[in-house]
Amino acid sequence: MSPKKKKKRKMSRGARRILLSIAATLFVLIAAVAILVTLEFHRERIGKWVQETAMESDVGPSPGELDRFMARLDGHMESLLADDSIVSGAVRTRRSDAGSGNLRYTLIQREVSLADPETAGALRRDLEAFARQYPAAALVERKVITGDQVRTTLSVRYRGLLMRELTLASIAKPKAVRLEQPRGPRVAIIVDDVGANIEPLMALLSLEAPLTYAILPSREFSAEAQKMIRKRGKEVMLHLPMEPLDYPRKNPGKGALMVRMGEEEIRKQVRRFLDEFPGVAGVNNHMGSRFTQDRRQMGVVLDELKRRNLFFVDSLTIGRSVAHKESARLGLPYAKRDVFLDHVDDPKRILEQVEKMIQLAKRNGSALAICHPRKNTIAVLRKAVQRLKSEGIDVVPVSTLIGRS
């Protein structure tokens, strides 16, 4: 083959590459022009969509998200303010429009007079615990003291927006000047399994003693029992059902925490039960001889309690419970049961256990007992309360013993 022909073929390939490059460039230019024409044609519609999206994602929460949060918050506040032992007189409410653009809502400001000034701190802690459930929520406190009047305003904000305000007005208690006296022995008595029946509870509430009541969740009379107990100013706990060793022969009840459950499932169940009883002081376990031995699962439960500034009382249904170690690791306030008063439902045996409680209190300075709303127990307690008074032993809410060694 001659050199001239080789040169001719080489030039033909180069020409084809140039033509293909020109064609590709023309195709890209035509596509770009087509896109620009389409964007120009729909410019107004696209601009409106971008603006609406920015308002929803960057400026604040969506209207639906805001409505759900406010509905939960309003329900929680109404539950707190319905308690006659907290609020003195009517709740004064003021509503006003707030927000801007497509994100408008009703700002509600409430003002109440407190029956007891110390209730303000309890309400603040309760609302703080509620707000901690929502990463975008925050509680801001502002206090103004004029003479002997104290006005505490609790503002709930969501993504920076002021949602609700609760102003608590009270008269400051004068500080009593008294000499410190030696503290005598103390006992705390927790009544477990409250909520299944009302009649025994009424009898217990008639006793002249600040017993602490642990309510089982989701029982027929749970809500009514809580209202009765709080109205009389007594301490309320959640009696949290947990898996026992002999399950299913012994059933802790619907919704009980089981060892096989995942972490998120446990957290959701604990939160659901706590939401059922807003303002509880702490939690103790119902059954749980298997669950309280599981370090990982108990760590999850106790972490949820710490998030709400609650304490845990170990009913100690088994000696191998890890609740003490996990509470210490998390820095959670903790106490354990010393005596079961009515493990055997017999008046003579119950009286023997009361005697054991008294001797422990005298020897150690305090004792924590657990009992149940039973006929024999109530009859023994009625006499025991008088004896405790005569021997200088104070019956106290369980929260006063939390943190002891």
Q: Which amino acid is at 59?
A: V
What are the tens digits of pLDDT across the range 187-240? 999 999 999 999 999 999 999 899 999 999 999 999 999 999 999 999 999 999
Residue 182: pLDDT over 60: no
Over residues 374-392, the mean pLDDT reads 95
Q: What is the mean pLDDT of residues 96-115?
A: 82
Secondary structure (DSSP) of 236-252: EEEEEEE--TTTTTS--
Report how far Cα 6 is from the mean position of its chain's Cα atoms: 87
The pLDDT, as a whole number, for residue 144 is: 78
Choice between 127 and 43, residue whose per-residue pLDDT is larger:
127
Give 162's pLDDT tier (boundaries 50, 70, 90). confident
Instruction: Give the percent of the chain with pLDDT over 70.
Output: 83
Give the chain's count of helices (H) and strands (E): 11, 14
CB atoms within 10 A of CB 335: 23
pLDDT band at 35 (very low <50, low <70, confident <90, very high): confident
More confident residue, 287 or 128: 287
223 membership: H or E segment, kind and range = helix 222-231
- The helix (H) or strand (E) run that includes residue 229 is helix 222-231
Check if the beta carbon of residue 285 is closer than 8 Å to that of residue 292: yes
State which H helix or E strand residue 340 sits in.
strand 339-340
Strands 282-287 and 212-215 come out as unpaired
In the predicted model, what is the mean pLDDT of residues 338-355? 97
The mean predicted confidence, pLDDT, of the chain is 85
Beta strands in 29-185, from DSSP E residues, in sequence order: 87-100, 103-114, 137-146, 149-158, 161-171
Polymer length of the chain: 405
Cβ–Cβ < 8 Å for 265, 315 = no
The answer to whether 372 touches 378, Cβ cutoff 8 Å, is no
Structure tokens at 57: 């994602």
Q: Both tokens of residue 231?
A: 């109205």
Q: pTM score, two decimals? A: 0.58
Tell me the CATH class for 186-401: alpha beta
> Of the spans 32-41, 132-141, 310-319, which averages the highest pLDDT?
310-319
What is the distance between the terminal CA atoms of the chain, rounded to a whole angstrom? 106
Q: Which pLDDT does position 69 carry in this prediction?
A: 87
Query: What is the per-residue pLDDT across 370-382, written as a single tens digit (0 to 9) for each?
Result: 999 999 999 999 9
Structural domain boundaries in the chain: 63-171, 186-401
pLDDT at 11 over 70: no
Question: Averaged over 296-319, what is the pLDDT?
Answer: 96
Q: Report the pLDDT value the prediction gives residue 50, as an integer from 0 to 100.
A: 43
Confidence (pLDDT) at 56: 42
